[in-house]
Chain A
Amino acid sequence: MYKKLGLDPPCSPPILLDRTKVRGEFGLQVDELSGQHLYACYQCGNCSSGCPLAQEMDILPSRIIRLAQLGQKEEIIRSNTIWICASCFQCTVRCPKGIDIQAVMDTLRQIALDEGVDHFGPDQIDSKHAAEVPQPGLVGVYRKLST
C-alpha cells in the first residue's frame, strides 16, 4: 500500500512488546558485553544533553539506551549514532546512574559489525577535513575499530 501511494514504509511502527523482547537475547547481550545494566537508565537524558556530537546523530544517545531496553536491535543498528559517537566519555562521566554509555556504544558497534553493518571508517574522512578533525575524534574512530 505504501508503495502504491508512493510513500516510504512506516517509520514509527508500533512496538509489539512482550517479555521476550524486553528481557530477550539482545538486551542481555548488550548488558553482558558492555558490563553495564541497561535497566539502571531512568531516561534523564543527561548523556544526550552533554554529548558534543548529538547534533549529528539521528537518534540521541539516551534514546539509543531506551531502544536497547525495549529490545529494538534493528533500529539501533540502522542508526548513524553508534558511528558518529566519538567515544569521548562525556556521557559516561555525566550519567547520574553510573552507566558507562560509551561502553554501551562500543558494544552496539561490535554487535553491528558482527551483523556486517559498517557505517564509517577513517578512510572515509577526506584529506581536506582530516586536518580539522579533533584528535580525540580520530582516536575515537580508531578505538571504535579496535573493539
Chain B
Amino acid sequence: MKRIGVFVCHCGINIAGTVDVERVAREAEKMPGVAFAMDYIYMCSEPGQLLVREKIKEEKLDAVIIAACSPNLHESTFRAAAEEAGLNPWQCEIANIREQCSWIHSDRKKATEKAIKIVGTIVGKIRLNESLEPISVSITKKALVIGGGIAGIQAALDIADSGYPVILVEKDSSIGGHMAQLSETFPTLDCSQCILTPKMVAVGKHPNITLMTYSEIEEVSGYVGNFKVKIRRKATSVNWSTCTGCGLCTEKCPAKVPSEFDRGLTTRGAIYVPFPQAVPNKPVIDRDNCIYYKTGKCKLCEKVCEIGAIDFDQEDLIIEEEIGAIITATGYETLPIADLPHYGAGEVPDVIDGLAFERILSASGPTTGEVRRPSDGMIPKEVVFVQCAGSRDPERFKPYCSKICCMYTTKHALLYKHRVHDGQPYVFYIDIRTGGKGYEEFYHNAEEEEGIVYLRGKVAKIFRDGDKTVVWGTDTLTGRNIEIAADLVVLATAIVPTESTAELANKLRIQTGPNGFLSEAHPKLRPVECINAGFFIAGVGQGPKDIPETVAQASGAACKVISLFSRDHLEQDPTVAWVDEDLCSGCRTCISVCPYDAREYDEEKEIVTVNEALCEGCGSCVAACSCGATQQRNLSDSQIKSMVTASLGGE
C-alpha cells in the first residue's frame, strides 16, 4: 500500500480559528494508508513547503495531501514541491478545508468533524491515484483580434511587434472605432485623430498584421493554441486590389445616406469611405442604399471609375484560418436617444448625444469645429449637458455607471466654452466621477476657471418651445428646480456593448455578464482573460472605460497572448476522460452530453474517442456512459466510491 502523508494547514486563524487542526492531523494518522500526519501554521510558506519536501524523503512517502485552501490557489505550489522531492505531481492532492469548511462554518466541533471527513475523502481518492504526465499540445502562433477600435489596434500592434502574425478583423470598412470620431481627448485635450491615425497607419503597414476590414467572424472551433476560424469577408463591391482610392466614385454617387460616422449630421453616398483618414482608404458600396441594387439603374460609380474597380457581382468570401489565441475587442455603442422618451425620444430637434457633439466639435466634422446647432445652424448660447442619460437608472434603463461621461461632458462644456466665449454651458449631474490621473484637476479647472455651471440633479423632461429646447431639471444644492430655455442639449447617453456582442460571444463560447459586456475570468486577478483558455478581452466591450484604460487593457491582453506564444507546447491537465475500448458500445451518448465537443466517433473502431486537448475533465460523459466505458483519470468509479464511503464516515 502507498505511504500517504497528510499536512494540515492553520492558515493563521483562517482555518485554525474554526477547525481543530491538531485533531484533524491526529485523526488522519489513523486513516488506512496514512503513514504520517502533521499540522503547521502556513503550509504555503517557504518553510511549509520545505517541510513537505523533507517529510516526503524522511518518511518515504508515495503520496501527499495538503489540507488547506482551495486547489485553485495552491495546488500548483504543492505539486511543484512534491515533484522536487521526487514524487509525480499527481500524487499530491489538496483537501479544501478552508473555503469548503472553516470559512463557512462557525461551530468548531462540527467543522472539525467535517474537516476530518474531507481529508478522509481525499485519502480514499489518493490511494488509487495514477502517476500522470501532462498532455502536451502544439500551438499555432498566430493571433486573431476581433474589432479594430483603439483596443484592437493596440493589441494587434503589440503582438505583431513581438514577431507573431496577427489577423485583425473589423466589421466596418475602416479601423479606428469610436476614437476616430472624437474631437479632443480628456484630460489633456490632445486631438484624437492626431494620436490615433499614426497607429492606424502602422496597422495598415505592419508586415505581421493581416487586416481584414468589412469582415466578420463566421465560426470558431478548436481549442487554445489550435483554433479554426472562418471569417466572412463581406462583398465590398469594389475591387480593393486595383482601386487607387481616388474618391471619384464617392463624389459622384447620387444616393444620400445619413453618415454613421458623423452621427447623421451629414450625408454620404451609397459608395463611400467613412472618413478621410480611413485605413484602408478604399470605398465600399452599401447595397441596402445603392440605387442600382434597389432599382437596377445607376452604375454612375462604375462609369466614373477609370480603372474599372467597381464590381457589382462581388460575393462574400469565407476565409479559413488557423489561430492560436483570440482577443475580442468589439467595443461599444451608445443608448439611442429614441430609447429615452422623457428626453424627446429623438424627436426634439437640437437634442443630440455626446458622439454627435464630438463631431460638431471636431475640426474635421460637419461644421469644421464651429459649434452650430443641427436644426438651423445657429451658434447656441445656452447649452445644457445632461449626464447619466440612461445610466445609473436601475428601474428604467441601465443600472451601471458608464464611467467616461462625467469626464467627456466636462470636456464638451470646456471645448464649447473655448469656442463660444459668451455662451453658457450647464451640466446636470448626479455625481461627478473623476477618478483618474489629472481628472479631478481637469474638472476643478472647468468649474472654477471656465465658469461651467454644474447643477446637481437629474433632468426630468426636455421639450421644444418655439426655437428653444426647454429643460426641466433640479438642483438639490439649492433645493430648487431649475428651468433652462436652451439652444442645444447634449445627452451623455449610456454606454452599451456593441449589438453583435452576444451573438459573437456565443460563436466563441465566451461569457457575457448581466448587462451584455464580455466577462473576464476574475474581476481582479484575471481581468483580460476569459474563463475558456485561449480567449482574451480588451476595451469597452468588457465594460465602460476611457482610452488610457482601454490601451492598458489591450496591451495586457496582448502580453498574455505573447506569453502563450513564447512556448512551443502547451501543457494541459491530464485528468481528462478516457475510453476503455473493449467496453464502449459506440452508442454515442457521450457525444451529445459533452459541452466541449471533445468526443468523436471513430468510424473504423466503431467506438467514441476523447480529444484530450479539448476535454476539460468536466465528467459529463463519464456520468452518461451506460457501459462504464468512459472513466476520468484519477477520478475513477472506484475512487469516487471510496470518497463517498469516507464522506459517510466509513473507511
Interface segment among B91-99, B241-249, B471-479: the answer is B471-479
- Whether A15 pairs with B475 at a CB distance below 8 angstroms is yes
- Whether A18 pairs with B484 at a CB distance below 8 angstroms is yes
Partner of A19, one of B381, B447, B475, B478: B381
Minimum CB–CB distance for B378 against chain A, Å: 15
- Whether A42 pairs with B483 at a CB distance below 8 angstroms is no
Q: A19-B423, A39-B451, A70-B453 are in contact. Are A12 and B485 (CB under 8 A)?
A: no
> Which residues of chain A have C-beta atoms less than 8 A from B480's C-beta?
12-15
What size tier do the contact residues of chain A reach? 20 to 34
A12-24 CB mask vs B (1 if < 8 Å, else 0) is 1111111100110
> Which residues of chain B have C-beta atoms less than 8 A from A97's C-beta?
448
Q: A15-B475, A66-B477 are in contact. Are A23 and B451 (CB under 8 A)?
A: yes
- Whether A22 pairs with B447 at a CB distance below 8 angstroms is no
- Asked if A37 is at the interface of the complex by the 8 Å CB criterion, the answer is yes
Partner of A63, one of B422, B448, B478, B485: B478
> Which residues of chain A have C-beta atoms less than 8 A from B109's C-beta?
none
A90-133 CB mask vs B (1 if < 8 Å, else 0) is 00000001000000000000000000000000000000000000
Partner of A43, one of B444, B472, B477, B484: B477
Complexed CA–CA distance, A56 and B472 (Å): 32
Q: A17-B426, A17-B484 are in contact. Are A42 and B447 (CB under 8 A)?
A: yes
- Asked if A81 is at the interface of the complex by the 8 Å CB criterion, the answer is no
Number of A-B contacts (CB under 8 A): 63
- Asked if B482 is at the interface of the complex by the 8 Å CB criterion, the answer is yes
Complexed CA–CA distance, A101 and B485 (Å): 32
Q: List 24 A-B contacts (CB under 8 A).
A: A12-B480, A14-B481, A15-B478, A15-B483, A16-B484, A17-B482, A17-B483, A18-B424, A18-B484, A19-B381, A19-B422, A19-B423, A19-B424, A22-B424, A22-B453, A23-B451, A39-B451, A40-B448, A42-B447, A43-B456, A67-B478, A70-B478, A72-B478, A97-B448
- Asked if B370 is at the interface of the complex by the 8 Å CB criterion, the answer is no
Could you tell me which residues of chain B, from 434 to 460, have a CB within 8 Å of some CB in chain A?
A: 444, 447-449, 451, 453, 455-456
- Asked if B382 is at the interface of the complex by the 8 Å CB criterion, the answer is yes
Complexed CA–CA distance, A19 and B484 (Å): 10
- Asked if A34 is at the interface of the complex by the 8 Å CB criterion, the answer is no
> Which residues of chain B have C-beta atoms less than 8 A from A22's C-beta?
424, 451, 453
B378-393 CB mask vs A (1 if < 8 Å, else 0) is 0001100000000000
Complexed CA–CA distance, A19 and B208 (Å): 56
> Which residues of chain A have C-beta atoms less than 8 A from B451's C-beta?
22-23, 39
Complexed CA–CA distance, A97 and B426 (Å): 21
> Which residues of chain A have C-beta atoms less than 8 A from B478's C-beta?
15, 63, 66-67, 70, 72
- Whether A18 pairs with B447 at a CB distance below 8 angstroms is no
Minimum CB–CB distance for B172 against chain A, Å: 40
Minimum-distance CB pairs A-B, first 10: A19-B424, A14-B481, A40-B448, A66-B477, A14-B483, A15-B480, A17-B484, A22-B453, A16-B483, A43-B477
Minimum CB–CB distance for B471 against chain A, Å: 9
> Which residues of chain B have C-beta atoms less than 8 A from A23's C-beta?
424, 451
- Whether A63 pairs with B477 at a CB distance below 8 angstroms is yes
Interface residues of B (CB under 8 A from A): 381-382, 422-424, 426, 444, 447-449, 451, 453, 455-456, 472, 475, 477-485
Complexed CA–CA distance, A14 and B479 (Å): 9
- Whether A18 pairs with B382 at a CB distance below 8 angstroms is yes
Minimum CB–CB distance for A108 against chain B, Å: 15
> Which residues of chain A have C-beta atoms less than 8 A from B448's C-beta?
37, 39-40, 97
Minimum CB–CB distance for B279 against chain A, Å: 42
Beta-carbon nearest neighbor of B452 in chain A: A39
Partner of B475, one of A37, A39, A42, A70: A70
Complexed CA–CA distance, A6 and B574 (Å): 85
Beta-carbon nearest neighbor of B440 in chain A: A42
- Asked if A87 is at the interface of the complex by the 8 Å CB criterion, the answer is no
Partner of A42, one of B444, B449, B455, B479: B444
- Whether A15 pairs with B381 at a CB distance below 8 angstroms is no
> Which residues of chain B have C-beta atoms less than 8 A from A67's C-beta?
478
- Whether B482 pairs with A63 at a CB distance below 8 angstroms is no
Minimum CB–CB distance for A106 against chain B, Å: 21
Q: Beyond the given A12-B481, A14-B480, A40-B447, please list 8 additional residue pairs across the A-B interface where CB-CB is below 8 A.
A: A12-B480, A15-B481, A15-B482, A17-B426, A17-B453, A42-B444, A42-B447, A63-B478
Minimum CB–CB distance for B482 against chain A, Å: 5
> Which residues of chain A have C-beta atoms less than 8 A from B483's C-beta?
14-17
A38-61 CB mask vs B (1 if < 8 Å, else 0) is 011011000000000000000000
Minimum CB–CB distance for B354 against chain A, Å: 22
> Which residues of chain A have C-beta atoms less than 8 A from B453's C-beta?
17, 22, 69-70
Complexed CA–CA distance, A14 and B475 (Å): 10
Minimum CB–CB distance for A116 against chain B, Å: 25
Could you tell me which residues of chain A, from 1 to 31, have a CB within 8 Å of some CB in chain B?
A: 12-19, 22-23
> Which residues of chain A have C-beta atoms less than 8 A from B475's C-beta?
15, 66, 70
Complexed CA–CA distance, A39 and B444 (Å): 10
> Which residues of chain B have C-beta atoms less than 8 A from A14's C-beta?
472, 480-483
Complexed CA–CA distance, A15 and B485 (Å): 11
Minimum CB–CB distance for B196 against chain A, Å: 33
Minimum CB–CB distance for B382 against chain A, Å: 6
Complexed CA–CA distance, A111 and B536 (Å): 64
Complexed CA–CA distance, A76 and B381 (Å): 27
Complexed CA–CA distance, A16 and B352 (Å): 22
Beta-carbon nearest neighbor of A62 in chain B: B477
> Which residues of chain A have C-beta atoms less than 8 A from B455's C-beta?
17
Complexed CA–CA distance, A69 and B381 (Å): 19
